[in-house]
A and B are shown apart, each in its own frame.
Chain A
């Protein structure tokens, strides 16, 4: 039951609560500064440029996955397969560099090698393709997102292991004879003093934020998560929107697969295990609602940084990795508790403002 209120004054009334509310709204940022300040005092060398860049590179990996995951979660879905896509894409890239494609099975005694840009494109296309498989399972075949992506999680991990019979593809420097050298640049190249990885993250994050805020696709993603039936009757092609988010998530995972293989100059089939959980954690920490319809890319990035800095900082302090896991879990729970508290407080503050106006 609504009555239009003529003048909504902002910030008036209920000073203490309003301040507390602003604090909670900015909680992810505050958490970020809190961990930064804490570790800069507690861990020596924490604030050194070298360490900050190193941490950013670690964080970036999770941030890529979390960006893709954010879109998926906003539509009300979940993508558990990203970790496996990371592993498989890394293995495919590694295999193409090391062994090329053997065309024996076509009757040619010839091995086809691609150059690095081609390998990158093939790998990214593979990630998108796996995302499309998830999308088809979910939209055409009506499999619940949790189950569909759990299935592809196993399938892709298995395929990654099959590619090398479980072995690592080592030493991916490439061979000038085949034109496959230069793969290292993705993971270790830098531009204007920042690692290339960070530049790629900035580009992907800006693109994703733009999609979310300023394009019809972005609006449709939120609408599908908010009320699928109303979205469909508004002429939104719900299936296409879902296909898009899973393909985008697959694309993000493929980027991570490439970066890790390039950083290590090796591809290991177990790479990316449990990455999906970190990605979900970052999205949730950043304020994405698991019930769909709500979330921001900026929040997710900050969430990824909080998680990443926390783990790296604890390592530098020499805290046991077992304790790190416990602490990470507590931080996630705390984030959601604060989120709920914020909603309640917001409610109260607005009421108080209204009352003071009348």
Chain B
């Protein structure tokens, strides 16, 4: 643990003398097309400590990390490692200075094995015979043991659930003997038990003197694990403190300028007509058994149904089946009491379903198309006269939704990839809403979103429910499912364990139901990580 004095981030010239500071970012400015991501940022990283960085989506956290990791170069300013200014022009440079990063968006090769990913570009080789696969696999297995996961080093990354992929990312950074380890939203895809393991790993790294830069939106988590905290807002540092001197409301104030409420007001409409009913929905697992095991449930107009469960419980697959994405799924879907005959996604959308996918990069956005085009992609028909798109009408609708969902998009003609994560998510939500759905399926709608965007999303969910839409949302966040749902459905290993009314739901009951079928979740953390592939 560090004993260094804490100062406000501005006077970094003096702090170079501070022996605990391994890395200093000095007056860094970064400009991107259309945006100014960082404005004169000062940031200090201390060894043997967890240096937390928080901020809303678009505040510039990821950009700052990319600069430290050598992925991007600052437009102005400099980076000082161990008292000496360095120029980081590539990740290789950063690695040479002992800087490792676990990216928010996975940077793994799905077509390579776990071991190959961990040692990519640093393969262990011998002359002529090439890569020593066995040695790599042995070391990978050791790393996995250290991380308390028994992921097979020979398994293809594509076959791992996203939570385990995150573990592989962390192992990859550890394998590089990083002195400074950047973790960008490392827990966003992890279950509670996996988070505990990660925190133990972090504590271990700290005791070895590693400086950890930790980025997350989960404030309780930051309070729990952080030693120092730096808050970014609109590309500027707005706060810099020791963690033991501050509380959540301080963080929130620095982040958005005033105390914000996490969840929108609980005006539960509910009690309307049945919007969606699924009966005996099943999706066979390729290796035998079921990913979704004979699930039946229903959602009424004005109701928010939360689906809680651990990683691999089959929640996303359930939504995909309802959406018609899996042709070999069995069971029936009723929309407004009528049995759906549509066999594919297009038909289901037409009948009144819409989905916000879990992975917006992979399934949500067409990044190279304009923001506006992305928003109207699922609902073009309503702007058409015959085969002709009425551009003016389309643009009016796009602008309307940009305002309604408070999307920070200066120009709807710009590429969707130019937006920050939270705003991209809002574009995906706008796309779904433009189809005027009867039932909205949302898969982890708040994943990787900051408080501001989160409450925007939650408020939108409430408003939609009040308008008579049935909402089904999947989440791994217990607090979220408790606060937002009118009823809570808990899944485990593909089965629907129970559906609890909000009035009767307790956190204990929900957690207990989620663990059904798993042996003692705490002491055997791997039991809940059974691969879904």
Chain A residues engaging chain B, CB cutoff 8 angstroms: 1-6, 8, 214-217, 219, 222-223, 226-227, 229-237, 293-294, 346-347, 350-351, 354-355, 358
Closest CB in chain B relative to A6 CB, distance in Å: 7
Residues of the A chain whose Cβ atoms lie less than 8 Å from the Cβ of B323: 233
Closest CB in chain B relative to A93 CB, distance in Å: 30
B420 an interface residue at 8 Å Cβ cutoff?
Answer: yes
Decide: A2 near B387, CB < 8 A? Known: A226-B368, A350-B33.
Answer: no
Partner of B31, one of A223, A233, A237, A351: A351
Partner of B234, one of A3, A6, A219, A222: A3
B373 an interface residue at 8 Å Cβ cutoff?
Answer: yes
B418 an interface residue at 8 Å Cβ cutoff?
Answer: yes
B36 touches A216 (CB 8 A): no
A235 touches B346 (CB 8 A): yes
B58 touches A226 (CB 8 A): no
Task: Known A-B contacts: A219-B376, A232-B345. Give 14 more (CB < 8 A).
Answer: A3-B60, A3-B234, A8-B34, A216-B380, A219-B377, A223-B366, A226-B368, A227-B367, A230-B365, A233-B357, A234-B349, A235-B435, A294-B368, A354-B33
Inter-chain CA distance A358–B32, complex, in Å, is 13
Residues of the B chain whose Cβ atoms lie less than 8 Å from the Cβ of A234: 349, 377-378, 431
Residues of the A chain whose Cβ atoms lie less than 8 Å from the Cβ of B39: 358
Partner of A1, one of B37, B348, B367, B435: B37
A2 touches B423 (CB 8 A): yes
B388 an interface residue at 8 Å Cβ cutoff?
Answer: yes
Q: Report the 9 A-B pairs with minimum CB-CB distance, sorted nearest first.
A: A226-B366, A235-B349, A350-B33, A2-B420, A235-B346, A234-B378, A1-B63, A216-B380, A4-B408
Residues of the B chain whose Cβ atoms lie less than 8 Å from the Cβ of A350: 33-34
Partner of B362, one of A6, A8, A229, A294: A229
Inter-chain CA distance A348–B384, complex, in Å, is 38
B33 touches A351 (CB 8 A): yes
Residues of the A chain whose Cβ atoms lie less than 8 Å from the Cβ of B355: 233
Inter-chain CA distance A346–B418, complex, in Å, is 14
Decide: A1 near B364, CB < 8 A? Known: A233-B323, A236-B377.
Answer: no
B465 an interface residue at 8 Å Cβ cutoff?
Answer: no
Interface string of B337-366 (1 = CB under 8 A from A): 000000011101110000101000011111
Which residue on B lies nearest to A8, using beta carbons? Answer: B410
Which residue on B lies nearest to A233, using beta carbons? Answer: B363
B389 touches A214 (CB 8 A): yes
Closest CB in chain B relative to A81 CB, distance in Å: 27
Inter-chain CA distance A347–B418, complex, in Å, is 12
Chain B residues engaging chain A, CB cutoff 8 angstroms: 31-39, 58-63, 75, 234-235, 323, 325, 344-346, 348-350, 355, 357, 362-369, 373, 376-378, 380-381, 384, 387-389, 391, 408-411, 418-420, 423, 431, 435
Inter-chain CA distance A254–B367, complex, in Å, is 35
Residues of the B chain whose Cβ atoms lie less than 8 Å from the Cβ of A222: 366, 369, 373
A3 touches B365 (CB 8 A): no
Which residue on A lies nearest to B384, using beta carbons? Answer: A216
Inter-chain CA distance A207–B349, complex, in Å, is 29
Which residue on B lies nearest to A294, using beta carbons? Answer: B368
Residues of the A chain whose Cβ atoms lie less than 8 Å from the Cβ of B380: 216, 219
Partner of A3, one of B235, B350, B389: B235
Inter-chain CA distance A236–B379, complex, in Å, is 10
Decide: A2 near B34, CB < 8 A? Known: A229-B363, A233-B325.
Answer: yes
Q: List 6 A-B contacts (CB under 8 A).
A: A1-B58, A2-B58, A3-B408, A5-B35, A223-B373, A347-B33
Residues of the B chain whose Cβ atoms lie less than 8 Å from the Cβ of A293: 366, 368-369
B366 touches A230 (CB 8 A): yes
Partner of A215, one of B37, B325, B388: B388
Residues of the B chain whose Cβ atoms lie less than 8 Å from the Cβ of A358: 31, 36, 39
Which residue on B lies nearest to A4, using beta carbons? Answer: B408
Partner of B60, one of A1, A223, A226, A227: A1
B381 touches A237 (CB 8 A): no
Decide: A355 near B369, CB < 8 A? Known: A2-B408, A5-B36, A219-B389.
Answer: no
Residues of the B chain whose Cβ atoms lie less than 8 Å from the Cβ of A214: 388-389, 391
A230 touches B364 (CB 8 A): yes
Most buried by B among A216, A217, A229, A234: A234
Inter-chain CA distance A214–B325, complex, in Å, is 28
Residues of the B chain whose Cβ atoms lie less than 8 Å from the Cβ of A4: 35, 408-410
Residues of the B chain whose Cβ atoms lie less than 8 Å from the Cβ of A232: 325, 345
B369 touches A1 (CB 8 A): no
Decide: A235 near B350, CB < 8 A? Known: A2-B58, A214-B389, A216-B384.
Answer: yes
A216 touches B381 (CB 8 A): yes
Closest CB in chain A relative to B182 CB, distance in Å: 14
Inter-chain CA distance A165–B410, complex, in Å, is 64
Inter-chain CA distance A156–B344, complex, in Å, is 34
Closest CB in chain A relative to B191 CB, distance in Å: 25
Inter-chain CA distance A222–B36, complex, in Å, is 29
Closest CB in chain B relative to A21 CB, distance in Å: 12
Closest CB in chain B relative to A277 CB, distance in Å: 26
Residues of the B chain whose Cβ atoms lie less than 8 Å from the Cβ of A354: 31-36
Most buried by A among B32, B39, B234: B32
Closest CB in chain B relative to A225 CB, distance in Å: 9
Most buried by A among B61, B366, B408: B366
Residues of the A chain whose Cβ atoms lie less than 8 Å from the Cβ of B357: 230, 233
Residues of the B chain whose Cβ atoms lie less than 8 Å from the Cβ of A3: 35-37, 58, 60, 234-235, 408
Most buried by A among B36, B38, B355: B36
Residues of the A chain whose Cβ atoms lie less than 8 Å from the Cβ of B38: 1
Inter-chain CA distance A293–B374, complex, in Å, is 13
A231 touches B62 (CB 8 A): no
Decide: A351 near B32, CB < 8 A? Known: A216-B384, A231-B377.
Answer: yes
Inter-chain CA distance A234–B423, complex, in Å, is 18
A235 touches B31 (CB 8 A): no
Which residue on B lies nearest to A358, using beta carbons? Answer: B36
Inter-chain CA distance A5–B389, complex, in Å, is 29
Inter-chain CA distance A233–B419, complex, in Å, is 21
Residues of the B chain whose Cβ atoms lie less than 8 Å from the Cβ of A216: 380-381, 384, 387, 389
Which residue on A lies nearest to B418, using beta carbons? Answer: A2
B369 touches A2 (CB 8 A): no
Residues of the A chain whose Cβ atoms lie less than 8 Å from the Cβ of B62: 1
Inter-chain CA distance A163–B204, complex, in Å, is 77
Residues of the B chain whose Cβ atoms lie less than 8 Å from the Cβ of A233: 323, 325, 345, 355, 357, 363-364
Residues of the A chain whose Cβ atoms lie less than 8 Å from the Cβ of B411: 8
Closest CB in chain A relative to B394 CB, distance in Å: 10
Inter-chain CA distance A144–B366, complex, in Å, is 22
Partner of A6, one of B33, B367, B373, B410: B410
Partner of B363, one of A217, A219, A230: A230
Residues of the B chain whose Cβ atoms lie less than 8 Å from the Cβ of A219: 373, 376-377, 380, 389
Which residue on B lies nearest to A350, using beta carbons? Answer: B33
